[in-house]
Amino acid sequence: MTALGHAAPTTFSGPPRLTGARKGASVIVLGAGLAGMLAAYELAKAGYKVQILEYQTRPGGRNWSLRGGDSYTEVGGATQKVAFAPGNYLNPGPWRIPYHHRGLLHYCQQFGVALEPFIQLNHNAYVHSSKAFGGKPQRYREVAVDFKGHISELLAKAVNQNALDDKLTKEDRERLLEALRGWGVLDKNMAYSSSLKVSAQRGYDHAPGGGVDGAPTPSQIFGLKDVLDPKIWNTMSFYFNYVMQTTMFQPVGGMDMIGKAFARQVRNLITYNAKVTKIAQGENGVTITYQDIPSNAVREVKADWCVCTIPASILSQLDVQVS
């Protein structure tokens, strides 16, 4: 979707101001995920007569949380029973709201969804590659600090051997060396080595404290070879991704708090258990065919417009006659 330009970054600067609904004009929204419910909310506010058809028995779509006592039967027929302790939950779909998802953040505030920070980057977490450190997991902070230290040392060597003279002015050269010394925590010889200064970033063998044995001892740095393992440096570069940057948020109590809050705004508009099978556009509007799952009855509804939020992978299996 991103490649096709359909998943572009948000330009959200406030909710849409929809006006001009023809009196009595109707819209059928397919799917009660966040996209469908939000479309329905804004369209209803603008004066359209809106109905949402949703296949499942709950709102939210992929925005979903599982708690103790829940059960779910998968497409293949296997039933998963959730036996978490009270208060625990799992978000099988989305977990994280980046700070730049401004549209969603706006509606969370408007619909009263309490948010809290999501711990996206944990410097104390383990990083693992079977090909590095003899397969032993290591702390993120240690490998991240060692990676930048070793790379800084190598770059400083290249600069000092005049290998980058065609790229750097004399002034830039001095500034770069100074930056590498500070950023990479290099010693006076521009080498990356174990020291208390390095340990102030990657952690100590014995952390500074009080009392007679309060003096810190530095930790031993890792060699360059291990931190060059792709799984190791990829883990670090992951957090540079725009959509993975901190500050990240999550709803208090589970991701489905968002779906539930959206559903409170449009609860009277949703028909659950409605499996859409056909979308047909005509001269005067659109006809939707759906199966009422409990009764197996096939029904048709007509409207002037249709907003379809059924994911493309499912839509491609439906009978869609639109121009």
Residues at the contact surface with ligand FAD, assessed by CB under 6 A:
30-36, 53-56, 61-63, 93-96, 274-276, 309-311, 314
Cβ–Cβ contacts within 10 Å for residue 49, how many? 16
Sign of the torsion formed by the C-alpha atoms of 180, 184, 187 and 192? negative
Which tokens belong to 223?
Answer: 């060699």
Minimum CB distance to ligand FAD, residue 95 (Å): 5
- Of 185 and 276, nearer to ligand FAD (C-beta) is 276
- Residue 138: HSE in the Cβ half-sphere, 13 Å Cα cutoff: 29
Minimum CB distance to ligand FAD, residue 1 (Å): 9
The CA-based dihedral angle spanning residues 318, 321, 322, 323, taken in that order and rounded to the nearest 10 degrees: 130
Minimum CB distance to ligand FAD, residue 30 (Å): 6
In sequence order, the 6+-apart residues with CB closer than 8 A to the CB of 239 are 120, 121, 245, 246
Tell me phi and psi for residue 96, to 5 degrees: -125, 140
Minimum CB distance to ligand FAD, residue 287 (Å): 15
Minimum CB distance to ligand FAD, residue 272 (Å): 9
Minimum CB distance to ligand FAD, residue 295 (Å): 16
Minimum CB distance to ligand FAD, residue 81 (Å): 20
- Of 183 and 239, nearer to ligand FAD (C-beta) is 239
Q: Could you tell me which of 192, 117, 198, 108 has the C-alpha nearest to residue 156?
A: 192
- Of 181 and 275, nearer to ligand FAD (C-beta) is 275
Minimum CB distance to ligand FAD, residue 93 (Å): 4
**What beta strand segments (E) does the chain contain?**
26-30, 49-53, 66-67, 71-73, 79-81, 89-90, 97-98, 115-118, 126-127, 138-139, 204-206, 217-218, 248-251, 270-271, 274-282, 285-292, 297-303, 305-308, 319-321
Which tokens belong to 274?
Answer: 């409605």
- Of 199 and 309, nearer to ligand FAD (C-beta) is 309
- Of 37 and 185, nearer to ligand FAD (C-beta) is 37
- Of 61 and 184, nearer to ligand FAD (C-beta) is 61
- Of 138 and 265, nearer to ligand FAD (C-beta) is 265
Minimum CB distance to ligand FAD, residue 108 (Å): 12
- Alpha helices for the chain (secondary structure H): 34-45, 102-110, 140-160, 170-183, 196-202, 224-227, 230-238, 256-266, 312-315
- Of 1 and 83, nearer to ligand FAD (C-beta) is 1
- Type of residue found at 134: G
Q: Which residues pair with 297 in a beta bridge?
A: 292
Q: Are strands 138-139 and 126-127 parallel, antiparallel or unpaired?
A: antiparallel
Q: With contact defined as beta carbons under 8 Å apart, do 114 and 251 qualify?
A: yes
- Of 31 and 254, nearer to ligand FAD (C-beta) is 31
Residue position matching structure tokens 């109707």? 26
